[in-house]
C-alpha cells in the first residue's frame, strides 16, 4: 500500500544557547499508510510533541525527509505548507485551541475560510458537523459558555471541516472526564473504520493503545518498538 506519510531518517535538533544543540529526534524512519489508526506513545521528554509537529508539517526536520502525499515539506514555502495542512490534516489538541471571541459555528468555519470555501457552504458544513456531534443547540455559544467536553467536540468538528484524510490528535482526552474521553476515542475509531480517515494519536496514556492498529513507542527521540495489532480486521468484520 502506498504511504500517505513517509519519514526518512529524520532528526530534529534545537539550539540551547551555550549548552549547544539538543537532539530531540534521532534517525526516525516511519511509513504511515492510508486508513491506519496509529498511536505514538512515550513518556515525557521522549520527543512526542516534536514528532507531532513534524508529522503535522508544523515544523521541518533538521535532517532527513518528511513526505506528505509525496510532497517534501522541507522544500515547500510557508504558504504552500499552510494549504497542505489545511486540506490534508485536521488537528485536535488537548487544550482545544478554540478562538475565544468566536462562536462554535465560527470556530468550525475558520479552517474553511483559510482555503476560500464560500461562506454559505462553510456555514452549512459547520452546522452539519456540530449537529453530528450533538451540538446543534450550541452553535452560537462561545468557548467560555461550553463545557470542556463540548469544547473538544467543537474542536473535532473544526478538524473535520475540510474533510482531511488525516486526523492528528495530540492528547485529545487529556483535559476530559473519563466518559467524555471514551466518547472522543470511540468517535475517532468510527472516523477510521467508517470513513477511512487516517488517525495519528499522540499520547502518554497507555490505556488508549487498545484503539490503535499500530503503536509506535518513542524513547529519548528514537523508535524503540513498532507494534501492529489485529484490531483493524476485527473492526471491519
Listed by start position, the domains of the chain span: 35-47+78-235
Percent helix, percent strand, percent coil in the chain, to nearest 5: 40, 25, 30
pLDDT of residue 16: 84
Distance CA 211, CA 146 (A): 27
Reported as a single tens digit per residue, the pLDDT across 10-58 is 999 998 887 788 899 999 999 999 999 999 999 988 999 999 999 999 9
- Per-residue pLDDT of 155-204, as tens digits, reads 999 999 999 999 999 999 988 989 999 999 999 999 999 999 999 999 99
| The pLDDT value given to residue 230 | 60
Write down the CATH number for the domain with range 35-47+78-235: 3.40.50.300
Three-state DSSP at 150 gives helix
Q: What mean pLDDT is reported for the chain?
A: 92
Please state, in angstroms and as integers, the Cα–Cα distance from residue 49 to each residue in 111, 145, 170, 207, following that order: 22, 29, 8, 19
Amino acid at each position: 500500500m502506498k504511504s500517505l506519510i513517509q519519514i526518512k531518517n529524520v532528526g530534529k535538533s534545537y539550539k540551547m544557547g551555550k549548552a549547544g544543540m539538543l537532539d530531540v529526534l534521532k534517525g526516525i524512519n516511519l511509513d504511515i499508510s492510508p486508513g491506519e489508526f496509529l498511536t505514538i506513545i512515550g513518556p515525557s521528554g521522549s520527543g512526542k510533541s516534536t514528532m507531532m509537529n513534524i508529522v503535522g508539517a508544523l515544523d521541518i526536520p533538521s535532517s532527513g525527509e518528511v513526505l506528505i502525499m509525496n510532497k517534501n515539506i522541507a522544500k515547500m514555502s510557508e504558504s504552500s505548507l499552510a494549504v497542505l495542512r489545511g486540506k490534508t490534516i485536521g488537528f485536535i489538541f488537548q487544550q482545544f485551541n478554540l478562538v475565544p471571541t468566536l462562536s462554535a459555528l465560527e470556530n468550525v468555519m475558520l479552517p474553511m475560510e483559510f482555503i476560500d470555501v464560500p461562506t454559505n457552504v462553510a456555514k452549512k458544513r459547520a452546522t452539519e458537523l456540530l449537529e453530528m456531534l450533538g451540538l446543534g443547540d450550541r452553535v452560537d455559544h462561545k468557548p467560555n459558555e461550553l463545557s470542556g467536553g463540548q469544547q473538544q467536540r467543537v474542536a473535532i468538528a473544526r478538524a473535520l471541516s475540510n474533510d482531511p484524510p488525516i486526523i492528528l490528535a495530540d492528547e485529545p482526552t487529556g483535559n476530559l472526564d473519563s466518559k467524555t474521553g471514551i466518547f472522543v476515542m470511540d468517535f475517532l475509531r468510527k472516523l477510521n473504520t467508517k470513513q477511512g480517515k487516517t488517525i495519528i494519536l499522540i499520547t502518554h496514556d497507555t490505556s488508549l493503545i487498545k484503539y490503535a492498529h499500530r503503536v509506535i513507542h518513542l524513547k529519548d527521540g528514537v523508535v524503540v518498538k513498532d507494534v501492529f495489532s489485529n484490531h483493524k480486521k476485527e473492526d471491519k468484520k
